[in-house]
Amino acid sequence: GGHYYAINACDSYNTVMNGTSYKSSFKYVCTDDGDIEKYSYSTLNCEGEADDVSIADVEHHQCKAARDCNYATVCSYDDCSANVNDTTCSICSEANYIDNYGEDHSSHCFPYITDGCYGLK
């Protein structure tokens, strides 16, 4: 199993515990010499300087043979409902709610490849 990632596509987590937000994100990057590195951040959306750069455990990808990927980022938000029994996520569905209050909720934003290019697993 596993998931394929587009190069330079950001995967973000926001974990909210007791009112404190813990942000993290990562992306895979091709180096000039054709290796792939994983850049990890303590921010959402891979913003700022990477906190950690490591060699990526790579399958099914070669940077020199790569072509750009088209991908879409999909986010899921926890605890969107004020009522636990409300499974419709009516609060998060309100216009502009996520734009204004998204960081108040735990979330995972995940890139999905939308055309069949090679990626990482």
Question: Helix, strand, coil % (nearest 5) of the chain?
Answer: 15, 35, 50
Structure tokens at 76: 């899921």
How much is the pTM?
0.77
DSSP-assigned letter for residue 6: -
**How far is the CA of 109 from the CAs of 9, 26, 44, 55, 118, in angstroms?**
11, 11, 9, 23, 20
Q: How far apart are alpha carbons 46 and 39 in whole angstroms?
A: 8
C-alpha dihedral sign at 71, 47, 64, 58: negative
Nearest to residue 112, comparing CAs of 57, 67, 86, 75?
75
Structure tokens at 37: 């590195």
Residue-level pLDDT, tens digit, the chain, 121 residues = 467 788 889 999 999 888 888 999 999 998 888 888 999 999 999 999 999 999 887 676 667 665 667 888 888 887 765 555 656 667 777 778 778 878 888 888 998 888 766 544 4
Amino acid 48 reads: G
Antiparallel, parallel or unpaired: β 11-17 and 107-113: antiparallel
Q: What value does the CA radius of gyration of the chain take, rounded to a whole number of Å? A: 17
Q: Can you give the pLDDT at residue 85?
A: 61
